[in-house]
Chains A and B, each alone.
Chain A
């Protein structure tokens, strides 16, 4: 993720300047956090820099909240899940390893895991199990800001790729990823053999990957 990541609200600076020297930060003067790439910010975050963490939140908090909202279905539950996930990110910041992937994917992976865990712990899951419509996409919140325009374009791109998949594959992927259901639960809900469900998951993901790669080429 480069410096130009969308989603942060205002430039932020601190009294220290962060420059790169052999992969580590050296204190010299003044820094504008908004000009740092995510991976550089994470180096500061790993040293306990709260302002760098705030910049990370500004860049990815919207995407995290949107993902949580998609999973849990209410704003209050999404707020709880997002705060829980970002606190976990802050407290486990030493675990981030840039060679394992982008900061954004790392953050969204944690948000997804913790939100699904919360969903499975709560009665919300049982309630929604009886209402398959519960995992359908919900209306956007009215207070959507302009800085989310970038996310809108990104959303259109991925959705266009998803729409090329057979409905049966989309269904099992969404029930698993956004619904938090296991393959056997999905098989029971759809009245299909478990092997069929697992096959659709694999084929669907493979086709989605190829569609996304083709769109990027």
Chain B
């Protein structure tokens, strides 16, 4: 049996989430280089995505929506207030331009303000990156009155079932801000909602998909604001 055929046996189990963690990681490494398995996985995913539609419909209780939207409205409030004065126009081009200017400084703290460009209050800060865990990565934070965007390049995948989570630090308290993933080239961007006026630092950790309430590891990168 060839190595490929051994992996190909796992496509169905992987599509269903039935591979144990270690096997799934091994399969994902094979998948990155095997177009045949990529194609097969794409085909089988069409069936997997239909499975939720086979279940009997149940109406959720109204209280579920009420409690959900209470949290969402509270978290959305700062952004909503800001939009009354100026709509955020955070185009990807801005994010990538900021990322292109970013400088990875390695482990250790230091601050580099990269410039304000168009004469507005916008500014871009570079990140200190833990180059043990994120070798070759760089990141920057573009701050403006309209909103802030964290841009990263050269970042490794966060790992199966994991995402990068952005945190803001105020007076020693750390709060979750957003979650992001990176593409095949290690590039990604995340909004950092709300004003950063009273924020001391923006940080990133790797967390379980969906995000955590508190960081579970030391930050992989940090930007002192």
Q: How many A residues have CB within 8 A of the partner chain? A: 92
Closest CB of chain B to A7's CB: distance in Å?
9
Asked whether, in the complex, the Cβ of B10 is within 8 Å of the Cβ of A198, the reply is yes
Residues of B within 8 Å of A92, CB to CB, are 163, 178-180, 210-211
- CB neighbours (8 Å) of B44 from chain A are 202, 205-206, 209
Residues of the A chain whose Cβ atoms lie less than 8 Å from the Cβ of B176: 91
A-contact 0/1 string along B149-166, CB 8 Å cutoff: 000000000000101000
Name B74's closest neighbour in chain A (CB-CB).
A50
Q: Which residues of B contact A152 (CB under 8 A)?
A: 57
Is A63 in contact with B52, judged by CB distance below 8 angstroms? yes
Interface string of B53-87 (1 = CB under 8 A from A): 11111111101110111011101100110010001
CB-contact partner of B64 in A83, A137, A162, under 8 A: A83
Q: Which of B17-76 contact A (CB under 8 A)?
A: 17-20, 43-44, 46-61, 63-65, 67-69, 71-73, 75-76
- CB-CB under 8 A for A141 and B58, given A82-B64, A83-B67: yes
When the two chains form their complex, are residues A212 and B89 in contact, meaning their CB atoms are under 8 A apart? no
Q: A53-B72, A65-B58, A182-B20 are in contact. Are A95 and B180 (CB under 8 A)?
A: yes
A155 & B11 in contact (Cβ 8 Å cutoff) = no
Whether A87 touches B16, Cβ cut-off 8 Å, given contacts A92-B178, A198-B9, is no
The residue in chain A whose Cβ has the minimal distance to the Cβ of B49 is: A105
Compute the total of residue contacts between A and B using a CB distance below 8 Å: 222
Please, how many angstroms separate the alpha-carbon atoms of A157 and B15 in the complex? 21
Q: Does B136 belong to the interface (CB within 8 Å)?
A: no
**Complex Cα distance A48/B192, Å?**
11
B190-219 residues with Cβ-Cβ distance < 8 A to A are: 190-191, 193, 208-211
Q: Which of B46, B54, B87, B181 has the most CB of A within 10 A?
A: B54
Task: Return A48 CB to nearest CB of chain B, in Å.
Answer: 3
Residue of B56, B176, B178, B181 with highest tally of chain A CB at under 10 A: B56
Q: Which 3 A-B pairs have the closest CB atoms?
A: A202-B12, A88-B210, A48-B79
Residues of B within 8 A of A (CB): 9-13, 15-20, 43-44, 46-61, 63-65, 67-69, 71-73, 75-76, 79-80, 83, 87-91, 161, 163, 176, 178-181, 189-191, 193, 208-211
